[in-house]
Amino acid sequence: MAEKRRAGDVIAADAKSPKADADAEFVCQPEVGALLGGALLELLRSRPDDPVGFLAEHFAHLSAEAEDGAPEPRSVSRALWVLSLAHHSHRSAFNSNVRVAFELLASGGGGGGGGGGVRGRLYSEVLRSLCSEGGLSLSTAAPLLRRVQSHDYERVPFQLFRQGVLTCAVFADYIRKSQCLYAAVASAPDRPAQRTLCQAVLSTLREALDTADRSDAARYLEASAKISPAKVAQAMAEVHPPGQRRDGPTMDAQEFEDAAAALFIARVRTVT
């Protein structure tokens, strides 16, 4: 019986070996190895909280790229996805993803590799998409984009690419912060806030921005984030002491947002 079992094991092993060899041969194909290796490299670069979801998104993007025949739209879509993997406040991961996005655009977008830079048209398209995905309206984003975009025919080096991407990401967060400030000033969601109160808060916001380090756009967001509810309340109280009537001209949410945006944009260096 023991010999029969051993003989059966040998036969089973022999039967399995062709399939095992075929599986090994399949995995060793250059295309498959590059696919799996690229996925693992992206996973190690990004270190996402949800590795399974990350890999699912990774392969979904590869599938979409295979169906789309145009290389430049594919590279832009891929770059935007990479940039969405880490918030700009996570500096190390964000900077790593910006580098990956830059290399994707420089090689896939006809840039001839990272050393040649990214075409200005692709760079501007990425910035517009970042603003749109950040929830910014066209009217709010346009003044900023005019400062940081480049000409279509230009090559954008990495440092300029990183600064433009960071500026748009920070600006989107900054605008959301300003919207929260307006909500704190307005007496009711369906009524515009008093203009004098809005001006007081904008003045407080301007003071915070003036204390920021001008070397990095992220410092402006950090400065504005330090405006606590108590500081807003203090500014409001200085304009309208408790018990005083609050009548007079008003300011709607869009005007307040435009004014807050202008404070930020005035501090962004124009690309020349």
Query: Coil, helix or strand for 102?
Result: helix
- 154 and 236 in contact (C-beta within 8 Å)? no
Residue 182 maps to a domain: yes
Other C-beta atoms lying within 10 Å of the C-beta of residue 113: 9
Measured between alpha carbons, how far is 237 from 167 in angstroms, rounded to an integer? 33
Per the domain annotation, does 155 fall within a domain? Answer: yes
pLDDT at 196: 87
Whether the Cβ atoms of residue 78 and residue 103 lie closer than 8 Å to each other: no
80 within domain boundaries: yes
Positive or negative torsion for Cα 187, 189, 193, 198: positive
pLDDT in the model for residue 171 = 92
Residue 155 dihedral angles phi and psi, to the nearest 5°: -105, 130
User: 12 in a domain, yes or no?
Assistant: no
The Cβ of residue 229 has, within 10 Å, a number of other Cβ atoms equal to: 10
Nearest to 141 by CA among 128, 151, 125: 128
Residue 74 lies in a domain: yes
Exposed e or buried b for every residue in 36-59, given b needs 16+ CB within 10 A? eeeeeebeebbebeeeeebeebbe
What does the alpha-carbon distance between residue 156 and residue 101 come to, in Å, rounded to a whole number?
A: 13
pLDDT at residue 259, as a whole number: 94
Which positions of the chain have pLDDT values less than 70?
1-39, 41-48, 58-73, 108-115, 212-218, 220-247, 272
Which residue type, as a one-letter code, is found at position 271? V
Domain assignment of residue 140, given as a range: 68-265
The contacts of residue 110 (CB under 8 Å, 6+ apart) are 71, 72, 119
- Residue 35 belongs to a domain: no
| 91-126 confidence digits (pLDDT tens) | 899 999 999 999 989 986 444 444 578 999 999 999
pLDDT value of position 261? 94
**Tokens for 58?**
């990774």
Residue 10 Cα distances to 4, 15, 17, 24, 27, angstroms = 10, 8, 10, 20, 25
**CA dist., res. 272 & res. 145, Å (int):** 13
Tally of domains within the chain: 1
Whether residue 248 is contained in a domain is answered as yes
The answer to whether position 161 is within a domain reads yes
pTM for the structure as a whole: 0.69
Q: Residue 194 in 3-state DSSP?
A: strand
User: Looking at residue 158, what is its pLDDT?
Assistant: 94
The residue whose two tokens read 């990401």 is 169
